[in-house]
Amino acid sequence: MLVEVAVAAAVRGTFTYRVPTELAREVSLGQRVAVPFGRSRRATGYVVGFPTAPTAGFELRDVVEVLDAEPPFTPKLVELIRWAEEYYLVPPGELLRAALPPGLNARGGEAGPERRGVEYAAPAPGAAEAVQRLARAPARRALLEYLLARGRIPVEELRAAFPRGRAALTGLARKGLVLLDQETPVARAGVLAGERVDAPVLAPSQAAALGELVPALGRFAPFLLHGITGSGKTEVYLNLIAAARAAGKGALVLVPEIALTPQLSGRFRARFGDDVALMHSGLSGAERHAEWTRLRRGGAHICVGVRSAIFAPVPDLAVIVVDEEHDPSFKQDDGPAYHARDLAVVRARIEDAVLVLGSATPSLETLENTTRGRYRRLTLPTRIDDRPLPEVHLVDLSRLRRGGHEVGPGLVSPELADALLTTLAAGQQSILFLNRRGYQTLVICEACGAEARCTECSVSLTHHARRGVLICHTCGHTERMSVACPACGGVRFGVGVGTEQVEEAVRAIAPAARVARLDRDAVGSADDTAALLARFARREIDVLVGTQMVTKGHDFPGVTLVGVVLADTALALPDFRAAERTFQLLTQVAGRAGRGAEAGRVLVQTFHPTTPAIACAATHDFAAFAADELAKRRRFGFPPFTRLLAVRIEGSEEGARRAAEALAHAARPLLSAELTMLGPAPAPIERIRGRSRWQLLFRASGPPALFRVHGALARVARRPPGGASVRFDMDPHAML
Ligand code: ADP
Ligand code: ZN
């Protein structure tokens, strides 16, 4: 008996092994095996096929051991992974390794105990008063504050919000400050009987969407669910999945980030109880392993998870949901470069599943697929209860400047300062968004003009005033900030505004306001993030300043003002998706305002008020933005009208350049009107961690020409001159 094995190593292709008779009964598709590989006597591999004849010219060696009693991958998952391997031009073993939870990569490791019922936690009477006494137990305090803000919620939501909060929860329960209870039968029985439990009456547009989705169950049917923020998309997912469960089928829900959106996983657990397996980076390896095994054995039928959950072994998969399908986090950039949303389409086809891509700001790729009739488009045009979308007002910073007005420290314009004060006076909350960390983004010597730059990367250092340091945001290099220029001794000054400076400006404008900052410098862990968001939800913070971390997260009914400090930060990036990303971020952050009873308003400060990405976000006009941007993409030949393959080269200055030239040389004979090459050129960030970076970008009307060019480059890429390393990135996202 022969098996085709994908070895968990950075090699393309698969290898044939012989199965000794005593192992033959244990081997099946998707199973992990130990095989001799190269000079190593034992490498892990995965059975991906059963060839009838050995590869000619190769010595046939024996499988050493079969590693699992039952294969971790279903045959359909093996098919998905093989597809991804071909398409993304990555070694299959690497993909398989990325697909499995860490606990399974190591040997052994039995599944954890199967959980039963949904556990709920609620603050006990008197908990609000007790919070003050917990000053010296910050973990318990944060958790209790979260519960006070949210009321009775599934413990699962707490686990998502506070990945390391288990001890704190047990401690609080023991002190009688938190009440824990279990609720199995109701949700479970109802769902299994096909009834909706605990579900609101559907709005007409929700019912209409479900009227198309539910009858499609049982076959491959891709949909775009285009619904503005707060229009009830999640409720549609829940109902569709309930219908699938009533028919005994499973579902997979991909979300961008669970730590920032614990409410979402909480809603799934509340509706479907223990039938939901969660897969996110906050879980330990053993916990992820346990969730994987629960799905594999049919102990859970619904998986809610981040990007890598696209490979989760959901039984009888009938529904795949990709929530916020436009989100860049679905693209994996290091390791095997795959796109989970695009793989969701492939998996839905393999599994005959209904696919729902949900978003308020669909990616232009997805939109174009609806235009071409590949996906059906369903819309939820209004917010639940007909709450209005917030009014967006543009503040033209260049006109302010020309009019002789000072914009003000921290880039807070007089209008924004006024709005902040009015909102505070009304006892309401504000969010200020700026997608730049630190105090100043550039430090320059006024005598010699030298900029503070990273010695290892070709980027300037950001001044973090609170810590008194300069930090490279690319490699993390940190040095003390000195006013004296190291080159000439002259005086240095900083320019460019970051969140730290905005926070300081807000404190100066409104000294009585309770101000907090949410960015990667201010909060170290998912637990800190959840704690801070909980304090904001409890209205213990008046103004929250932060990076894109503030654009997601909870429903904050108290927020009536959203200020975008500078809308232009992403516009100037050397990336054809810069405008699209800007539009998405502005729409998302604007959607935070006015979700409660009070109407919300949004102030967007910009130097480019007429740029479509900004002007259309201000009028909530997705259609106008998409039309304008698609016309540009068509004119300049960018996706969705073409396909791209990036080749990324890293090495010594000389080695990277030589490798890039050798690759370009190998590609030139294939170039035509149909297949063009941009580069070779140094990457926009030319150096990271002391390594030079070059890029080639190939463009064609479809993947086949790109596969051909990959074929021509593969030999050079395996042994590039100058010892450089070469990575292929199909449908690249980051262009830096
Ligand atoms: P989206 O996912 O589009 O942002 P959600 O599904 O989160 O929207 O819905 C927004 C809010 O409206 C949530 O608080 C949700 O519980 C509530 N909601 C959704 N559908 C309904 C409905 N049919 N009736 C009442 N409330 C609803
Ligand atoms: Zn650096």
pLDDT digits (tens, 9 = 90+) for 187-223: 333 333 333 355 788 999 999 999 999 999 999 999 9
Q: Are 603 and 395 in contact (CB under 8 A)?
A: yes
| Residue 504 CA, ligand 2 centroid: distance in Å | 26
Which is the closest atom of ligand 1 to the Cα of 206? 23
Q: Is 317 helix (H, G, I), strand (E, B) or coil?
A: strand
Q: Whose CA is nearest to atom 9 of ligand 1?
A: 232
Q: Which residues line ligand 1 (CB under 6 A)?
A: 200-203, 206, 227, 229-235, 384, 555
What is the CA(161)–ligand 1 centre distance, in A?
20
pLDDT digits (tens, 9 = 90+) for 378-404: 999 988 878 888 899 999 988 777 766
Query: How far, in Å, from the CA of 208 to the mean position of ligand 1?
Result: 15
Q: Can you give the pLDDT at residue 406?
A: 67
Per-residue pLDDT tens digits for 2-43? 999 988 776 777 889 999 888 888 888 988 888 998 777 788
State residue 103's pLDDT score. 54
Is residue 560 within 8 A of residue 599, CB to CB? The reply is yes
- Taking 60 as the threshold, does the pLDDT of residue 542 lie above it? yes
CA dihedral 151→155→160→166, nearest 10 degrees, is 110
Place 233 in a pLDDT band, splitting at 50, 70 and 90: very high
Q: Which pLDDT value is given to residue 333?
A: 80
pLDDT at 110: 39
Using CA positions, which residue lies closest to atom 6 of ligand 1? 232
Read off the pLDDT of each residue in 507-523 and give the average, rounded to a whole number: 92
If you average pLDDT over residues 443-469, what whole number do you get?
92
Which residues 6+ apart lie within 8 Å of 195 measured at CB? none
Q: At what angle do helices 92-99 and 75-88 cross, to 10 degrees?
A: 130
- Of the listed ligands, the closest to the CA of 261 is 1
- pLDDT bracket for residue 123 (50, 70, 90): confident
Q: Residue 108: which pLDDT band, with cuts at 50, 70 and 90?
A: very low
Mean pLDDT, rounded, of the chain:
87
- Given a cut of 50, whether residue 307 has pLDDT beyond it is yes
User: What is the predicted pLDDT for the residue at 32?
Assistant: 87
Q: How far is CA 187 from the centre of its chain?
A: 30
- The residues, ordered by sequence, that sit 6+ positions from 372 with a Cβ below 8 Å of its Cβ are none
Residue 102 has a pLDDT of 60
454 CA to middle of ligand 2, Å? 5
- For ligand 2, the distance from its centroid to the CA atom of residue 679, given in whole angstroms, is 24
Distances (CA, A) of 54 to 2, 3, 90, 141, 228: 7, 9, 23, 63, 56
For residue 186, the model assigns a pLDDT of 36
Ligand nearest to the CA of 552: 1
What global pTM score does this model have? 0.86
